[in-house]
Amino acid sequence: MLPSISFSAFNSTTSSPDNKLQDMQNALSRLDSVASDAARSRKKMAADRLEALKSRLQMLRMFPPTNSKSLAQEIARIAKEIASAVHDYADAGKDLLSSSTESAASAMSAMGDEDSKFLSLAKQLAAQAKALLDAVSKKDDRHKDAINEMDNAIRDAERTLGVQASNATFTPLNSTFSVHA
């Protein structure tokens, strides 16, 4: 539910110019607040999507591949969804950075940590998707575009958000991640 925003400064004929200016500044501040809240919500939704994709990849690792072609297609779909979530997150982050209601220093610090965690998870999932795809279809390059799209989305998000995620590698032999700063 969106907060109500009063534009009484535009309608009032008895207010002094100082009151009108203050009313307009308050209305602008509330609009900025609504925009910031929407951007935070979009970032949260993208992070939730990434967590859901993490679960899907974990499920794929648990079952032996019975149809490597369909498994490769599913991994490619997940890679494209990871790219989409990263794009959405970066776009929302850019909108949040442009908002004038936040204290610049505190917002940048908090968002930097949050953004770094998100991008680290995205890199982990990217490494896992690549490893699974390599294991399933070693000689099949048809799904390479999805992997490249995912990698490019992560690099673009790092540039957009001004945050460098840690490098993540996936070792398929023991099905664990290792993260290197």
Close Cβ partners of 79 (under 8 Å, ≥ 6 residues apart): 126, 129, 133, 143, 146, 147, 149, 150
Q: Which residue has the tokens 């859901």?
A: 52
Tokens read off for 162: 């001004």
Q: Which pLDDT tens digit goes with each residue over 128-172?
A: 999 888 888 776 677 888 888 999 999 998 888 887 665 544 333
Q: Which pLDDT tens digit goes with each residue over 107-139?
A: 555 667 888 899 999 999 999 999 888 888 776
Q: For residues 154-181, b (16+ Cβ closer than 10 Å) or e, as one string?
A: beebbebbebebeebebeeeeeeeeeee
The overall pTM is greater than 0.75: no
| Range list of H helices, 63-103 | 68-98
Say if CB 61 and CB 132 are below 8 A apart: yes
